[in-house]
């Protein structure tokens, strides 16, 4: 066989190449191998290297890309999410291949605890997983939260009771001085004294604040003008918050009374019903407007440690859950039983209707001499949770009961000594445990689906002021329903480019200097005026991302200040990662 060579190089003519291919394919395999080997041995090193690279691509085909999509999805569903993210970096082909399997990424989001019900519809599942995985990693590493000590205004006593609601914080100092704080500015907008020693507090911004007292009475205080204090602007300047010197200027009503200290209270604005429980072993129902006692339930010989009102819990009525030392009781009364008037005679009729309240189910506690139940319980959309601790305090379990039937749903062993059950969402629960260092506690996050401890954070120790821990308040609990990594790490989402979260506020209004938290009150006002921003104008998504409270508590030995724990803000996260 002869080859036609050009004058300048030694390439074979196209027709001779085709002729050679036909001859090569017609001879037996062993002769093909001999001919190919002789050609390879006679080649120089460069050609051998090129041939080796070419043969490697033929010898290791990408079999995954050759499979049908159904088989690919089945294979990927068995691989953990972190490995899939690593596979996305193998090549562009693999990256494009993995992005399209939304069903797989949705499954991986469920596995790590992403709150899929709050994911924006147009937000990609792969991004939801990657951003939430970063958030989960920060919780595990202990870098998700940052702490801040906030000084009281003109007060040098301990904080003994706190409550949080919708971006506002209420604190009660040891000298019974009430302060309502705007958490965006870390300044109190309302400060006033109360008489009698406060044991617990519950408030709703713009409506009312209720204080329980160790003397057995309850008092309610008018907060209807509170929003005007926040938002009112006069002659281009914010109005300075009012410090009420008179104890009667905001007092609405006194509720008389319990025969012992009030440990817990709860109310509903629509029902206009206030419930309370305390050391006299009674649960009392009050008309929140008139102060009339509507009904009373005696709990035998045990203190009532906690009461929670669940209005419209079912289609037919309302529910109250109360905890005693020996049991957790569930009471129910029909919807038509609640009152609609402030008239005293009609309030008495309402009291007769409230006699329809029935004890529907009860969970006995402390049946064994080897264990005891930690005071307090927490509720999510499906369950009620209780902590059972052994007497030696070596182990604890989280017992979950169905919220409707009170039948035991699950038992989750905890790998730590639990001091307080703080909060529970649909996916995660928050506990207070004993700290490793002296005068410290540990905030522990547990995945209630898997029973695994997700992460922990060391916080200062606080002294329990009531059995349910009135000196502790939990902030926004949405994150306990599931991870939302896009709210922390996605700049486009945070700047309002998502369809459902668009905003007209200029991004420059949230520049780096906005993240400073130690401004004086005058600086805060000046800063707001300069930027022409009123708190009303801040979009909720950005406001939540900037100021996301986890926990607030009084301190055991620090006078004139209280402790707060926040989600680490976006600017701080970026700085830390850089």
Structure tokens of 113? 């605890």
Structure tokens of 234? 């006069």
Say if residue 521's pLDDT is above 90: no
Structure tokens of 297? 């339930």
Q: Which pLDDT value is given to residue 65?
A: 79
Question: Could you tell me whether strands 242-243 and 187-193 are parallel, antiparallel, or unpaired per DSSP bridges?
Answer: parallel
Distance CA 124, CA 96 (A): 13
With CA atoms as reference, report the closest residue to 515 among 487, 479, 535, 545: 545
- Tell me if 164 sits within 8 A of 180, measured CB to CB: no
Q: Which pLDDT value is given to residue 242?
A: 52
Structure tokens of 359? 């004890």
Say if residue 2's pLDDT is above 70: no
Q: Is 470 left (phi over 0), alpha (psi -120 to 50) or beta?
A: alpha
Question: Could you tell me whether strands 198-204 and 282-287 are parallel, antiparallel, or unpaired per DSSP bridges?
Answer: unpaired
Question: Span 345-360, mean pLDDT?
Answer: 64
Q: Is 482 left (phi over 0), alpha (psi -120 to 50) or beta?
A: left
Structure tokens of 496? 């309002």
pLDDT tens across 452-471, in order? 999 999 998 887 878 778 88
Read off the pLDDT band of 504 (50, 70, 90): very low
Q: Which pLDDT value is given to residue 211?
A: 95
pLDDT tens across 360-391, in order? 999 888 878 788 888 889 999 889 999 998 88
SS3 573: helix
Distance CA 180, CA 204 (A): 11
Distance CA 436, CA 439 (A): 9
Distance CA 190, CA 182 (A): 9
DSSP assignment of 251-288 equals EEEEE---SS-EEEEEEETTTTEEEEEETTSEEEEEET
- The domain of 29 spans 15-59
Structure tokens of 139? 């919780």
Determine, yes or no, domain membership for 26.
Answer: yes
Determine, yes or no, domain membership for 386.
Answer: no
- Tell me if 199 sits within 8 A of 214, measured CB to CB: yes
For residue 230, give Cα distances in angstroms to 187, 194, 205, 515, 564: 11, 22, 11, 20, 21
Determine, yes or no, domain membership for 180.
Answer: no
With CA atoms as reference, report the closest residue to 184 among 144, 225, 217, 231: 231
DSSP assignment of 464-520 equals -SSTT-TTEEE---GGGG-B-THHHH-HHHHTT-SGGG---S-GGGG-GGGG-----
Determine, yes or no, domain membership for 19.
Answer: yes
- Edge to edge, what strands does the sheet with 159-165 contain? 159-165, 168-173, 177-182, 187-193, 242-243
Determine, yes or no, domain membership for 42.
Answer: yes
Secondary structure tally for the chain: helices H, strands E: 16, 32
Quote the number of domains for the chain: 1
To 10 degrees, what angle do helices 102-112 and 69-77 make?
10
Question: Span 136-155, mean pLDDT?
Answer: 86
Q: Which pLDDT value is given to residue 151?
A: 86
Structure tokens of 9? 């190089």
- Tell me if 520 sits within 8 A of 528, measured CB to CB: no
Handedness of CA 33, 36, 38, 40 (dihedral sign): negative
For residue 218, give Cα distances in angstroms to 171, 235, 564: 17, 40, 27
Distance CA 119, CA 114 (A): 9
Distance CA 578, CA 575 (A): 5
pLDDT tens across 235-288, in order? 334 444 455 554 447 889 999 889 999 999 999 988 889 999 999 999 999 999
Peptide bond into 198 cis (omega under 30): no
Determine, yes or no, domain membership for 463.
Answer: no
Distance CA 291, CA 256 (A): 8
Determine, yes or no, domain membership for 369.
Answer: no
Determine, yes or no, domain membership for 20.
Answer: yes
Handedness of CA 3, 7, 11, 17 (dihedral sign): negative
Question: Span 386-415, mean pLDDT?
Answer: 88
Q: Which pLDDT value is given to residue 464?
A: 80
- Tell me if 110 sits within 8 A of 129, measured CB to CB: no
Contacts of residue 358, Cβ cutoff 8 Å, sequence gap at least 6: 331, 332, 333
Q: Which pLDDT value is given to residue 233?
A: 35
Structure tokens of 435? 């700290």
Q: Which pLDDT value is given to residue 239?
A: 44
- Tell me if 465 sits within 8 A of 449, measured CB to CB: no
Helix, strand, coil % over all residues of the chain, rounded to 5:
30, 35, 35
Question: Span 68-79, mean pLDDT?
Answer: 90
Higher pLDDT, 547 or 231: 547
Other Cβ atoms closer than 10 A to 542: 20
């Amino acid at each position: 066989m002869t080859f036609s060579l050009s004058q300048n190089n030694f390439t074979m003519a196209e027709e001779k190449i085709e002729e050679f291919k036909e001859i090569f394919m017609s001879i037996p395999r062993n002769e093909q191998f001999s001919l190919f080997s002789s050609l390879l041995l006679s080649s120089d090193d460069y050609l051998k290297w090129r041939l080796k690279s070419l043969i490697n691509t033929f010898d290791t085909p990408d079999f995954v890309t050759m499979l049908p999509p159904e088989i690919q999805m089945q294979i990927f569903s068995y691989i953990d999410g972190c490995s899939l993210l690593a596979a996305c970096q193998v090549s562009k082909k693999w990256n494009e291949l993995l992005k399209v399997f939304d069903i797989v990424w949705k499954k991986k989001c469920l596995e790590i605890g992403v709150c899929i019900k709050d994911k924006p519809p147009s937000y990609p599942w792969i991004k939801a997983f990657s951003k939430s995985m970063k958030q989960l990693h920060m919780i595990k590493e202990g870098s998700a939260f940052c702490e801040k000590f906030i000084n009281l205004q003109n007060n040098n006593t301990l904080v003994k009771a706190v409550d949080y609601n919708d971006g506002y914080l209420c604190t009660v100092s040891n000298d019974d001085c009430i302060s309502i704080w705007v958490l965006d500015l870390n300044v109190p907008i309302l400060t006033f004294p109360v008489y009698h020693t406060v044991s617990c507090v519950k408030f709703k911004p713009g409506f009312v604040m209720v204080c329980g007292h160790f003397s057995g009475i309850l008092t309610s205080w008018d907060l209807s003008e509170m929003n005007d204090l926040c938002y009112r602007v006069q002659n281009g300047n914010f109005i300075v918050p009012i410090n009420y010197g008179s104890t009667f200027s905001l007092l609405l009503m006194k509720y008389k009374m319990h025969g012992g200290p009030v440990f817990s209270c709860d109310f509903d604005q629509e029902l206009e019903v206030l419930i309370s429980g305390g050391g006299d072993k009674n649960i009392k129902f009050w008309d929140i407007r008139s102060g009339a006692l509507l009904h009373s339930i005696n709990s035998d010989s045990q203190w009532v440690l906690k009461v929670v009102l669940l209005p419209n819990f079912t289609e037919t009525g309302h529910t109250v859950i109360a905890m005693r030392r020996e049991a957790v009781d569930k009471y129910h009364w029909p919807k038509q039983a609640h009152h609609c008037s402030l008239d005293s005679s009609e309030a008495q009729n309402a009291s007769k209707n409230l006699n329809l309240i029935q004890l529907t189910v009860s969970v006995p506690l402390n049946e064994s001499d080897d264990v005891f139940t930690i005071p307090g319980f927490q509720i999510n959309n499906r369950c009620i949770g209780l902590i059972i601790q052994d007497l030696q305090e070596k182990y604890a379990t989280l017992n979950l009961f169905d919220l409707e039937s009170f039948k035991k749903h699950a038992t989750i062993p905890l790998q730590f000594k639990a001091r307080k059950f703080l909060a529970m969402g649909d996916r995660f629960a928050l506990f207070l445990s004993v700290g490793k260092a002296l005068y410290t506690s540990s905030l522990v996050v547990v995945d209630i689906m898997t029973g695994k401890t997700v992460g922990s954070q060391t916080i200062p120790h606080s002294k329990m002021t009531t059995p349910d821990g009135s000196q502790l308040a939990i902030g926004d609990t949405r994150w306990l329903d599931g991870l939302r990594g896009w709210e922390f790490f996605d700049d486009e989402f945070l700047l309002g480019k998502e369809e459902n979260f668009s905003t007209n506020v200029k991004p420059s209004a949230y520049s780096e200097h906005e993240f400073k938290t130690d401004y004086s009150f005058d600086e805060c006002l000046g800063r707001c005026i300069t930027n022409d921003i009123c708190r009303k104008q801040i979009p909720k998504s950005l406001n939540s991302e900037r100021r996301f409270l986890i926990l607030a508590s009084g301190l055991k030995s620090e006078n004139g200040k209280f402790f707060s724990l926040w989600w680490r803000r976006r600017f701080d996260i970026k700085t830390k990662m850089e």
